[in-house]
Structure 1
Amino acid sequence: AVEQSGLSAFVTSRMLEQIEKVPLAPLAAELLSAMTDDRRHQRLFDEFTKVVGRFLSDEQALASMREKIREELPSLFNLFRADAYLLKKIIASAGSLLDEVRADPDHPMRTEFDRFVLTFVERLRTSKQYAKRAEKLKRDFLARPELKALAGDMWESLSLFIEQDAKAPNSMIRAHLANMFVEVGRHLAGDAQIRADMNQGFVVALSSFVESQKSGVSKFIADQVKRWDLAQLTRLIEMNIGRDLQYIRFNGMVIGGLAGVALYTVERLFLVG
């Protein structure tokens, strides 16, 4: 029923719209800045050097590199016939450099990496060009069909879990909700200030909502009244407040009669006098 109602598509669409409104560049800048506060970016750098080291130790990767170098510099390697030897020397030097970097927390390459990260964070914060690139990247990512398919799969899994859990006699969701509401009620019962704040908050929120929606509510009521059938409206009024109307009519008749008698009496007195 949930899938047929279109709720899944509605929620997914609203979520993507909200994500679309979030500027990506400043957010990424803050996240990276938080990483640099306790030098966590250096741990990322260590992992990067480990990955490169493993790549340089892979025989298949080395063979691919050797073929690529031979294609790019055929004259050099045809002249010396030493492509394997030169590549091994290059790889050995690179491996030694990576070992030095991992062992030395103050290595110049780490300092250079610090400078690179800080510069990149500052550009994310201030550069309009970086902001445009980040927004384009975000839009391209959100437009990918794989993301919508993933959101649909997640929604389907969640709805299936909720449906199965709701049917279970020992529902976890039901138990957690019951405990949560009991706990909230206990806190509210024991804290008058929270209750007063909540009441005030509800008043402010509802006042703001009514103020913003009053034109729409007025139009809705007016449209509903226009659709009413006059005869049906009269019958409804008679059925619901008919006795009161009869009472008003009777009282009006009595008061009108008394007023008429009084006026007639006054008139006769003046004529006789």
Structure 2
Amino acid sequence: MTEIEQAQQLSKTRRLATGLLFAMAALFVLSRLFQPRYPFLSFVSAFAEAAMVGALADWFAVTALFRSPLNLPIPHTAIIPRNKDRIGDSLSNFLEHNFITQEIIREELRPMDFAGAAASWLSKPENSQAVSRQIVRSVPSLLKLIEDDDVRHFMQSRLASALERTEIAPLLAELLSSLVARGHHRALFHHLIGMASAAMENNKPYIRWKIHESSPRWMPKAVDEKVYERLLEAIQSTLDEMRDDDSEWQTRFQRVADDFIAKLRTSPEYEKKIDAVLGDVLGHPLVRDYAVQVWHDIKAKLVADAASPESALAAKLEQAVGAFGTELLGDQKVQKKLNQWIRIFATETIVGRRQDIADLVARVIRKWDAETMSRKLELHVGRDLQYIRINGTIVGGLVGLILHAVTLLLWQSGA
């Protein structure tokens, strides 16, 4: 509801309460004028008189909250304007300790299905398309923030500096150790043997030609052919032997790998060699220029794709977002975990910042002038306070009527 609507409702209710006061005043005057002729009007007069008293008392009380009644300097009036800052501090403290608490926030967030709502929304094609298109449209703006000079500067200084502070050899040792532990080194060994066997098979004519070329001219061709066949058989037999998991070749390869990993972990010399190689590679102008050129090509392709109505990136992203929403929608277990994580995160964040949130209330109220403070509060609660005036008028009249009746009864019993 806007402030204009609140002001209209407040004015309407205030006119009703004030009109009721004037009506009681008119009723009081009329009943007193005709009471000598119609004695029963004493009850009406008593009701109207007490109603006026109640209405005036409540009018004074309600008005005193926001301003001095009739602009008279009466003590303890204009309570809100005179105590604006204190009220702001009290509201801030009340909000902090009675609303922004672990128990309340957690309980309020408990029934909310954040993950389910997000999954249901993302699973709809029009929504996943809207999300993907919005992300893709933001790509050119993000890329414009990163100039080519920034990339070049990063390659020249930041990356090199980061590598200088990082010990590469131990990291490489851990990586190789993990690969060896999973047996990937054996797969590499077999792959190398396979490459050697394929190379020999594909180059048999060349090997035969080299043997014939290197043999003396007086050597018979049959002898060269025999040497060629024996050589191939020996090589193939060796390769087959190397493929055996229990062969001495694989044991040696295992020892070489373990020794290399141990030296990477402990040898400063290996660290220096690796640093020198990386420094030479990354510091070389060709590498830096190539990296910048690659970045420039990637950026150009991304910008062109983002501008295209048939964006491949948007299509892939739309498919991924939709699939994610659909998968999440069907996985209650993951939804439960996500909801729990979101609730914990939101609760900790809100409660951790509750003093800042509460202080915001106090700061805003301090910035308001007294008139603004009174007007805003009156717009929000003034309509209900006007009903207090109406109720005071009616209740006051009923109390006056009862007292008048009791007085008559006591008078008659005494007579």
Q: What TM-score do you get using the length of structure 2 for normalisation?
A: 0.38
Match of 2:152 in 1: 9
> What is residue 150 of structure 1 aligned with on the other side?
290
Aligned counterparts of 1:25 and 1:199: Cα–Cα separation in 2: 44
1:39 lines up with 2:180 in the alignment = no
Q: Percent identity?
A: 22
1:56 counterpart (176, 192, 200) = 200
Q: Which amino acid aligns with 2:236?
A: G
- The one of 234, 237, 254 aligned to 1:96: 237
Match of residue 345 from structure 2:
194
- What are the Cα deviations for residues 119-158 of structure 1, in whole angstroms up to 9, with x where unaligned? 1111111112222222222222213334223311221122
Q: Report the CA distance shift for 1:158/1:38 in structure 2 as closer, same or farther (over 3 A).
A: same
* Matches of 1:109 and 1:133, distance apart in 2: 28
Amino acid at match of 2:271: A
Q: Label 1:170 to 1:198 Cα distance change in 2 as closer, same or farther (>3 A).
A: farther
**CA distance, structure 2, for counterparts of residue 201 and residue 166 of structure 1:** 40
Q: How many residues align?
A: 189
2 CA distance for matches of 1:143 and 1:28?
21
What CA deviation, in whole Å up to 9, does each residue of 1:11-42 have, x standing for no partner? 43333443444322112211211111111101
Unaligned runs of 5+ in 1: 71-76, 203-273
Q: CA deviation at 1:169?
A: 4.8
Q: Which runs of 5+ in 2 are unaligned?
A: 1-143, 326-337, 354-415
- The code of the aligned residue for 1:91 comes to L
1:119-134 equivalence runs, <5 A? 119-134=259-274
Q: Distance in 2 between matches of 1:159 and 1:16?
A: 23
Alpha-carbon offset, residue 83 of structure 1: 6.0
The 2-side partners of 1:121 and 1:166 are apart by: 46
Deviation at 1:56, TM superposition (A): 2.4
1:240-251 to 2 correspondences below 5 Å? none
Cα deviation for residue 192 of structure 1 reads 4.1
With the length of structure 1 as denominator, give the TM-score of the two structures. 0.55
Instruction: Determine the structure 2 residue equivalent to 1:167.
Output: 307
Q: What amino acid is aligned across from residue 300 of structure 2 in structure 1?
A: L
Alpha-carbon deviations, 1:201-258, whole Å to 9, x = none?
99xxxxxxxxxxxxxxxxxxxxxxxxxxxxxxxxxxxxxxxxxxxxxxxxxxxxxxxx
The letter for the 2-side match of 1:105 is: D
Provide the rounded CA distance (Å) in 2 between the counterparts of 1:90 and 1:159: 55
Whether the 8 Å CA contact 1:188–1:194 is kept in 2: the answer is: no
5 Å-filtered alignment, 1:192-231, equals: 192-195=343-346
Partner amino acid, structure 1, of 2:345: I
**What secondary structure sits across from 2:246 in the alignment?**
coil
Q: Is the 8 A contact 1:24 1:138 kept in 2?
A: no
Relative distance call for 1:155 and 1:87 in structure 2 (3 A) is: same
| Cα distance, 1:5 vs structure 2 | 6.5
> Is the Cα–Cα contact under 8 Å of residues 20 and 138 in structure 1 kept in the other structure?
no
Distance 2:341 2:151 in 1: 39
Matched, 1:137 2:277: yes
Q: Distance in 1 between the 2:287 and 2:235 partners?
A: 39
Q: Distance in 2 between matches of 1:106 and 1:100?
A: 9
RMSD between superposed Cα atoms in Å:
4.0
Question: What is the deviation of 1:7?
Answer: 2.6
Partner in structure 2 of residue 266 of structure 1: none
Q: State the one-letter code of the partner of 1:195.
A: A
For residue 159 of structure 2, give the secondary structure of its aligned residue in structure 1.
helix
CA distance in 2, matches of 1:41, 1:189: 42
